[in-house]
Amino acid sequence: MPASAPLFGAVLGVGVQLYVNAVRKLPLMRDPWLHVLWAGAGASFGTWLVSFEERTEKDLAELLRKREEANKHLQQ
C-alpha cells in the first residue's frame, strides 16, 4: 500500500477527469493535459492520505495510552 498509494491516486485522478468528460458528453480524451494534471493531483492526494493515516494512528495510540494510564487506578 505505501508504494502503490500514489499509483492508486493517479488512477483515481485520471478516472475523475474521464468522468468529468463523460458526464459533460464530451469525447473522453478531450483536453489531455487535464488528465495529466488530475493524475498528479490524485497521486499527491494518495501520498498525503497514507501519511495522514499514519500520523493519526500514532496520535490515536498516544491518546489511548494516556487514557489507559489515567484509568489505571480504577482497574486495581
Judged by the rule CB under 8 A, the positions of this chain that interact with other proteins are 1, 4, 12, 15-17, 19-20, 22-25, 49, 52-53, 56-57, 59-60, 63-64, 67
Nearer to other proteins, 22 or 32 (CB): 22
Of 15, 4, 6, give the one whose Cα is nearest residue 45.
Answer: 6
CB of 1 to other proteins, least distance (A): 6
CB of 75 to other proteins, least distance (A): 11
Record the cell numbers describing residue 54, joined without a space. 499514519
For residue 16, count CB atoms less than 10 angstroms from its CB and return exposed for 0-12, middle for 13-18, buried for 19 or more: middle
